[in-house]
Amino acid sequence: MPFQPDAHSLIRRAGGIQLQSGAASQEGLSAVRSAISTLFASLELQDAVMVTPVQTANSTCFQCHLSDAAAMSWTPGHDTLDILHRWKPLQEAETVAAEQKALDREIMVALLASPTAFHFSDLEALASSIRVRRFMVEAARKTALAFNTAAAERPETFWRYEPERGFVLQHGQSLICALISATQPEATGKHYDFSCYRATEYVILLGIAQEAQISNPPLFNALQQRNEVHAIRSGLFHEVFLVEYGSMDNPLPSHYYVPGDRLWFRNPDERSSDITGYEGSWVIYMGGGLFSNFWQQDKPYTLVKKCVEIFHWRDGVYVDGHGQLQMDEKRVDAFVAQTLNDPVALAHVLDRMTRMRDPQGVYAQGGCIDTTREHAKQVHASSCDLVLPPWP
C-alpha cells in the first residue's frame, strides 16, 4: 500500500525527527520505512512512534513523532524531565549495555517530543547524533573539577599552555585521553581548575571526538591536529561545534531538555551577576531530570535545586577588603537548605526563577530559564556539518 501523508498530522506536529529518505521509487521508500521501523523497534518504541511520509520538491522525507498517547503519558507539554519516572522500562538497566540502551532510548524519546524539528539526512546520521549525546552524558557524569574563574590548569603530560593559543595538546598524545585526564579524576586522581563554560567545552569536544573516531576518522585526525596547534574556545567553539535551537521569539518549553544538550541558567540578580563566574551557570543535561554539577559530581542538580541555588546567589554577596564583590558559598548553601525545607518559600522562589530569562542586559521580572539549548553538530561522514576553520 502506498504511504500517504496525513495532512492533519503534519499541521498538528511540526517538531520531532525528520529523516530524508534518499529514495525515489516506491520500493526504495518501503525499504527506508522498514529500516526506520527496525530502529525504533530496537529501542522498544515501535508502538509509540508515528511515521509520516512527506513529499518535498525533490524527494520524500519521513516525519517521526510520538503518538498522542505516548506524548501525553511520557512527555506531557513537552516535559522531558520525568521520562524515566513515567516509563518504568527505562529504569531497568543492570549492565553497561543496558544502561547505554536506556540512555539512547531516553534521547530518542526526547527528540521525538521536540516542539521544533531535528533534521537528519539518513538513519546513520540520526544514530551518530544519538551516540554523540550519549558520549557527552557519560562524560558529564564522570566530570569533577575545581571551580576557578581566575586560574586554570591541565595535566602536563597531555597539555601545555601558550598565552595566545590556550591549552594545546602535547604532540603525539591522544586527544580523547587528554580530555578525559583533564576532566575525570578517576583517570588522574586530581581535580583541575576550570570555569563552568570551559568545562562544558571539554565534555562536548570529548563526545564529538569519540564519535568521530568511530564514524568519521578524517574529522578525528583533523581535530587531533588542530588541538596540537591551537585551542578552539569560547565564541569560536560555539560557532564551529554547536547548533543553537529555540529563540527569544520562539522559546523552548521550560521543561524541555534532551540528554546531551548544553544550556545556560541565567542569574537574574544584577548585583550578584557582576561577580565573575556568577553571571549564570553552564551545564549539560544528563537525562533523568539531572543537570551536571562539575564541582560536586555526586550531587547533580535537579531543575528545582539549580533554580534555588541561583536565586540565593544574591544572598551570598559580600564586599572584601579590597572593595570587590565576592560570593560566600556557605551562606548560599544555608539559604538553599532553608528554602528547600519551606514549601511556601520554595513556591515563591520557583515562581520567579522558572520564568523565561530577560534579554541580555535587562534585569526585570525574568527568571533563570533560557529560551534556547545547544547540541553538537552532525559528525557522521555521510552528513557532517562540522567544518574546522582554517588557521594561519
Which of 15-24, 80-89, 257-266 holds the top average pLDDT? 257-266
Residue 361 lies in a domain: yes
Q: Residue 30 above 90 pLDDT?
A: no
Residue 50 has pLDDT above 80, yes or no: yes
Residue 323 belongs to what domain range? 250-371
- Each residue's pLDDT tens digit, 91-148: 555 688 888 999 999 999 999 999 999 999 999 999 999 999 999 999 999 999 987 7
Q: Which of 113, 136, 151 is the last residue of a domain?
A: 113
Average pLDDT rounded to a whole number, residues 185-195? 90
Span 10-35, average pLDDT: 76
Determine, yes or no, domain membership for 239.
no
Query: Is residue 341 within 8 Å of 361, Cβ to Cβ?
Result: no
- Alpha carbon of 213 to those of 132, 133, 167, 201: distances in Å? 11, 15, 22, 18
Closest by alpha carbon to 296, among 191, 203, 151? 191
pTM comes to 0.93
DSSP labels, 282-320: EEEEEETTEE--SSSTTSPBPHHHHHHHHHGGGGSEEE-
Given 63, 88, 113, the domain boundary residue is 113
Q: Is residue 218 part of a domain?
A: no
Residue (of 147, 144, 217) closest to 176 by Cα position: 217
Q: How do residues 327-371 score in pLDDT, each as one tens digit? A: 999 999 999 999 999 999 999 999 999 999 999 999 999 999 999
Contact 136, 207 (CB under 8 A): yes
- State the average pLDDT for the chain: 91
| Position 205 in a domain | no
Q: Which of 44, 78, 113 marks a domain boundary?
A: 113
The type of residue at 309 is E
Asked whether the predicted pLDDT for residue 10 surpasses 80, the reply is no
Is 136 a member of any domain? Answer: no
Percent of the chain with pLDDT over 90: 79
Give pLDDT, residue 7: 37
Grid coordinates of 168: 594545546
pLDDT tens track for 57-76: 777 889 999 999 999 999 99
Specify if 380 maps to a domain.
no
How is 256-280 classified by DSSP, letter by letter? ---TT-EEEEE---TTGGGSTT-SE
Residue 93: per-residue pLDDT: 57
Quick check: is 274 in a domain? yes
Give the integer Cα–Cα distance in Å for 229 and 340. 47
pLDDT band, residue 392 (cuts 50/70/90): low
Q: Is 98 a domain residue?
A: yes
> Which residues are bridge partners to 218 per DSSP?
none
Q: Is the pLDDT of residue 90 over 60?
A: no
Vertex 142: Cα angle to 141 and 145 (nearest 5): 110
Indicate the number of domains in the chain.
Answer: 2
Closest to 282 measured CA to CA, from 320, 256, 310, 255: 310
At residue 247, the pLDDT reads 94
